[in-house]
Structure 1
Amino acid sequence: MKGHYLIPDWPVPANIKACVTKRAGGVSKGDFGSLNMGLRSGDVPEAVLANREIVRSDWQLPVEPQWLQQVHGTEVVTAQADAIEREGDAVWTDQQNLPCAVLTADCLPVIFCNRAGTKVAAAHAGWKGLQAGVLEQTAFAMSEPADQLIAWMGPAISQKHFEVGPEVRAAFIGDSEKAEEAFVAGEGDRWFGDLYQLARLRLNTLGIDAVYGGGLCTYSDTDSWYSYRRDGKASGRLATLIWMT
């Protein structure tokens, strides 16, 4: 079972549990094969719901995770155990056994916990949400001193494959000149952006220095990950979950 998941490697309290779903181990067919977690990906809804139940069973989750209707914004939702999807791009809780979840397919998932092991959060950070401040808003929602927060960055598209226009680079540099280091020039007016580096800069600026993960590439690892930029509308979604026992 655990082979179907990426388990974060980060120094957190023993009661903090987290995982990222990989592509294998589910019931979705064709391009969505097989553990697609995205209800709005174009896959058969019944297959996605079955996949979500597989994950819940594998991890013996007592309640349905707090799933989100993600809009590439900065809204942070407080998780509820009522199985109702809520609109937002991040979710946090201080309740035990209530999983927070975000869906990605190239965008960067970032999970948080406090050092006391009493609060957790998950954020969906595509470039728009990242630039708009979704990580900052998530940290603020947790109401913890920055030095008490630990963050882990899950699988996302790597710089080599994340080509963007000059407006994306300009937006980040407008927030911080240090962001210039996260871009390398492509052909013409194109640039290649490093989501991991941009996220780390944002977290460090907040005062969160305990940042782990990074270095994976959803685009290049076809066997393990879904990638919207690689597969387009035929792409499924990965789920990143975090909870407290």
Structure 2
Amino acid sequence: MSARIDAAAPFPANVRAFTTLRHGAGASQAPFDTFNLGNFRAADGDDADVVARNRAELVERFGLPSAPHWLHQVHGIDVVRFDAPALPPPQPSPVNGGGGESGQDENPWRVMHPPPLAGEGWGGGEPVADAAVTSVPGVVLAILTADCLPVVFASKCGDEIAAAHAGWPGLSKGMLEATLAAMRTSASDVLAWIGPAAGPSRYEVGREVFDAFVAHDAGAATCFVPTREGHWLADLPALARRRLVAAGMSAGDIRGGDLCTLSDPARFFSHRRDGRSGRMATIAWLA
């Protein structure tokens, strides 16, 4: 049984990207069975030693060039750049803001250098951020999800990548725009793949979510289908595409978004569906 899905995007040959599946590897017990890679915030009670073994298996099974840089994800819009492989604990290198000359006017998004680190305990020392960027071969980026959008970015020439975690809070606040702004590559020269996430036929949301997007972009209402009073089915991948195109990407350079975590329990963890759930990892690096 396969334990991963490769990114379905025309990335350059040296760009590697995939999302893990819930089965086919790992040793976690139900309801985290079996390839749970979540940290102390995202694992909902799985055994820390088992998760550590699952993460070690991830590196060995898929021949990763180094241990992944795990993040302490908080549904925010902060981005960190890594210029060296992960060490225990990870030590990101200082960077300037991406997207040209640094400055508040050109780049309102924050690229942390170095980022704040999570506290003590399982997952302590992980940078507090929801996206990461690198231009260094062999540096492995990692995003944890179980319904939220995992998005991998790559420059068309293959010299820079990024990976972002975007649930509805981060997506509505500008997580994907922040990631593009943190890259040194112009948005028009970036390719993107949207990995498995809550799909538009199953992801029902309330007024808070609808208003968060429509307040920013009235046209975003087309990504919501009414179900009952004050509730809609939300198309997160479509919302992501709208925001990426508005940020300068070409619609034809954005792929994926057709795999639903909610409707495929055999392959994907889903926090919305199961309550207590493991996490998949979306992994990317430059070979």
TM-score (norm 1): 0.96
More off after superposition, 235-244 vs 153-162: 153-162
2:191 aligns with 150
2:116 aligns with none
**Aligned equivalents of 1:18 and 1:49: distance in 2?**
21
Q: Stretches of 4+ moved more than 4 A in 1? A: none
Tell me, what secondary structure is at the counterpart of 2:10? Answer: coil
1:4 aligns with 3
Deviation at 1:165, TM superposition (A): 1.2
Q: Does 2:125 align with 1:122? A: no
| Deviation digits for residues 125-150 of structure 1 (CA, Å, limit 9, x no counterpart) | 00000000010010011121111100
Match of 2:269 among 223, 226, 229: 226
Map 1:12-27 onto structure 2 (within 5 A).
Answer: 12-24=11-23, 25-27=25-27
Deviation at 1:124, TM superposition (A): 0.3
Q: Does 2:213 align with 1:172? A: yes
Tell me, what secondary structure is at the counterpart of 1:175? Answer: coil
The amino acid that maps onto 2:18 is C
Map 1:19-58 onto structure 2 (within 5 A).
Answer: 19-24=18-23, 25-40=25-40, 41=43, 42-58=45-61
Report the identity percentage.
Answer: 42
Map 1:59-74 onto structure 2 (within 5 A).
Answer: 59-74=62-77
More off after superposition, 192-201 vs 162-171: 162-171
1:216 aligns with 259
TM-score (norm 2): 0.83
Tell me, what secondary structure is at the counterpart of 1:98? Answer: coil
How many residues align structurally?
243
Q: Which runs of 5+ in 2 are unaligned?
A: 91-125
2:87 aligns with 82
The structure whose residues are more often helix, as a share, is: 1
Task: Answer yes or no: is the 8 Å Cα contact 2:134–2:161 preserved in 1.
Answer: yes
Cα RMSD (Å) of the superposition? 1.1
**Aligned equivalents of 2:18 and 2:187: distance in 1?**
23
Deviation at 1:62, TM superposition (A): 2.9
Deviation at 1:160, TM superposition (A): 2.0
Deviation at 1:122, TM superposition (A): 0.4
**Aligned equivalents of 1:29 and 1:101: distance in 2?**
23
